């Protein structure tokens, strides 16, 4: 059976939600376009064994909306979109599946650019690129965006530390990195080099053993994160880790990490603020990866990527200063900044 694309009912405020299926290739994927106001939608492809289609739709729509905000704040000339492939990346993924996914992306005619995300590697994206020119993050081009994401989070974390603690010196600062994937491990390495008292947690023991041996990190169990005394929490796994309960238990003064959609719901930001905890919106600080991908889309050099990483740290400083001066949540200030950008473009 050939590839089929079925338009599903997109949530209010979204432009398009597509179900892509190719049973012969084992593909069942969702592609969501939230906004193309600032340019073609761009965002990675995630592969995950979702419990059901509703869970996959919930994830892809949240992620797509986040990409609109992330790309706008990073000034990339791109809109927001995302894709998810439903399945276990360790056992279900094949080159044929990725080529079929590339065909689905190509069928959207350049309205969506894809790249790797959780469960997808540059090698996987190369298979997708056999069927479309709208697949980026390829080896030999911009490559793995993870180091760029980690560098951006690290720079923003230091800005946040200056606002929260009065200095960006991380020497002796207790930082817990939750999740040691490509981004989390790279961030942990930077934090250790900066002199932080590093704590780590992950579901994979080998990753914990490596961080303990090589970086001198203290290991904590995944279910004991919010029992730890810390200065900074860096969520770098999947989203939703900050619930109303965990926000009430958190001992950190600053939250800055790479995970998307860290807040289980918008009310969690109010709980954090009421407890004197500064939360840096994830879509602002984790933009390094999409900055790297955007350089490939636009044909820009490394200097362009570095300029935008520097600009992101500057926007975090601007966001925190405005939040302090107007007594608003940093997340509310960031959302307003994006709203203003989109409104201005639509009016132009």
Q: Find all residues with CB under 8 Å of 136, minimum gap 6, and list them.
A: 113, 114, 115, 125, 129, 142, 293, 296, 297
Locus of tokens 């925190």: 320
Rounded Cα–Cα distance for residues 101 and 105 (Å): 6
Per-residue buried b or exposed e for 98-126, using 16+ beta carbons within 10 Å of the residue's own CB: bbbbbbbbbbbeebbbbbbbbbbbbebbb
Note whether 142 and 114 are within 8 A (CB). Answer: no
For the CA atoms of 335, 341, 346, 348, what is the dihedral angle to 10 degrees?
160
> Choosing from 70, 82, 93, 190, which is the catalytic residue?
82
| Residue 300 annotated in active site | no
**Helix, strand or coil, per DSSP, at residue 233:** strand
The catalytic residue positions are: 82
């Amino acid at each position: 059976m050939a590839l089929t694309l079925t338009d599903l009912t997109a949530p209010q405020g979204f432009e398009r939600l597509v179900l892509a299926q190719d049973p012969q290739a084992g593909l069942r994927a969702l592609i969501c376009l939230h906004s193309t106001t600032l340019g073609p939608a761009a965002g990675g492809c995630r592969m995950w064994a979702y419990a059901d289609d509703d869970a996959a739709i919930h994830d892809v729509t949240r992620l797509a909306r986040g990409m609109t905000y992330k790309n706008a704040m990073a000034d990339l000339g791109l809109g927001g979109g995302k894709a998810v492939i439903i399945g276990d990346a360790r056992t279900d993924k094949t080159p044929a599946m990725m080529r079929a996914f590339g065909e689905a992306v190509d069928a959207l005619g350049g309205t969506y650019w894809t790249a790797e995300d959780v469960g997808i590697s540059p090698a996987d994206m190369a298979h997708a690129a056999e069927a479309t020119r709208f697949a980026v993050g390829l080896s030999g081009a911009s490559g793995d965006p993870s180091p760029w994401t980690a560098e951006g989070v690290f720079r923003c974390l230091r800005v946040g530390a200056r606002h929260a603690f009065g200095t960006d010196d991380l020497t002796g600062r207790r930082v817990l990195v939750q999740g040691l994937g490509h981004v989390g491990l790279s961030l942990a390495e930077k934090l250790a080099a900066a002199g932080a008292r590093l704590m780590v947690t992950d579901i994979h023991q080998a990753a914990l053993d490596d961080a303990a041996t090589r970086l001198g990190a203290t290991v904590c169990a995944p279910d004991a994160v919010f029992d730890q005394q810390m200065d900074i929490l860096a969520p770098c796994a999947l989203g939703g880790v900050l619930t109303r309960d965990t926000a009430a238990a958190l001992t950190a003064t600053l939250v800055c990490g790479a995970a998307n959609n860290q807040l289980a719901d918008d009310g969690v930001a109010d709980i954090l603020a009421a407890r004197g905890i500064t939360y840096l919106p994830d879509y602002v600080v984790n933009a390094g990866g999409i900055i790297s991908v955007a350089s490939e889309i636009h044909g820009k050099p490394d200097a362009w990527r570095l300029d935008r990483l520097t600009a992101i740290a500057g926007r975090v400083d601007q966001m925190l200063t405005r939040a302090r001066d107007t007594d608003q949540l940093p997340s509310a200030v960031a959302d307003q900044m994006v709203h203003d950008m989109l409104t201005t473009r639509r009016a132009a």
